[in-house]
């Protein structure tokens, strides 16, 4: 799964509102401002509106931690899988935590 697909998966899990891009209405962007306080300095879109390819879940703790927190607070349909995120957080390695969060969300989406 590409980073763009992973970011899109996270954005949908977090319930970020989708909107059409101001320049290209065929491109989907997500408003993240109610949950993540992002640096908009290099963002070509409106404030707090990001394309999946511009999202920083895999490289910024500021982006990833609200997602990990939501996963940890989601008990329904997960059969205790949030404990894998706890273990990943103990590594203090953002790549490990990001991978576990993505796996958690994929499993969450598959559950009945």
pLDDT in tens, 77-96: 667 788 899 999 999 999 99
Where does the pLDDT of residue 2 fall: very low under 50, low under 70, confident under 90, or very high at 90 and above?
A: very high
Residue 30 scores a pLDDT above 80: yes
Q: Do residues 10 and 26 both lie within one domain?
A: yes
d(Cα 14, Cα 26) in Å, to the nearest integer? 22
31-70 tens-digit pLDDT:
898 888 776 666 666 778 888 988 999 999 999 999 999 9
Q: Do residues 7 and 27 both lie within one domain?
A: yes
Quickly count: other Cβ atoms within 10 Å of residue 72's Cβ.
Answer: 16
How many folded domains does the chain comprise? 2
Contacts of 61 (CB under 8 A, 6+ apart): 94
Q: Do residues 66 and 33 both lie within one domain?
A: no
Domain-ending residue, one of 34, 54, 74:
54
Contacts of 51 (CB under 8 A, 6+ apart): 21, 27, 28, 29, 30, 45
Q: Do residues 15 and 44 both lie within one domain?
A: yes
Residue carrying structure tokens 């989708």: 18
Helix (H, G, I), strand (E, B) or coil at 29: strand
Q: Do residues 21 and 42 both lie within one domain?
A: yes
Q: Do residues 48 and 66 both lie within one domain?
A: no
Reported pTM = 0.88
Q: Please give the pLDDT value at position 101.
A: 96
* Domain limits for position 104: 61-110
Residue 100 scores a pLDDT above 80: yes
Beta bridge partner(s), residue 28: 20
């Amino acid at each position: 799964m590409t980073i763009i697909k992973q970011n899109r998966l996270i954005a949908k899990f977090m319930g970020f509102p989708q909107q059409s891009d101001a320049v290209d209405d065929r491109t989907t962007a997500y408003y993240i401002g109610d949950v993540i306080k992002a640096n908009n300095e290099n963002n070509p879109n409106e404030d707090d509106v990001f394309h999946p390819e511009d999202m920083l879940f895999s490289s910024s703790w500021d982006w990833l931690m609200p997602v990990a927190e939501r996963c940890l607070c989601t008990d329904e349909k997960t059969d205790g899988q949030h404990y894998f995120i706890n273990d990943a957080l103990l590594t203090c390695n953002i790549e490990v935590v990001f991978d576990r969060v993505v796996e958690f969300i994929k499993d969450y989406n598959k559950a009945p």
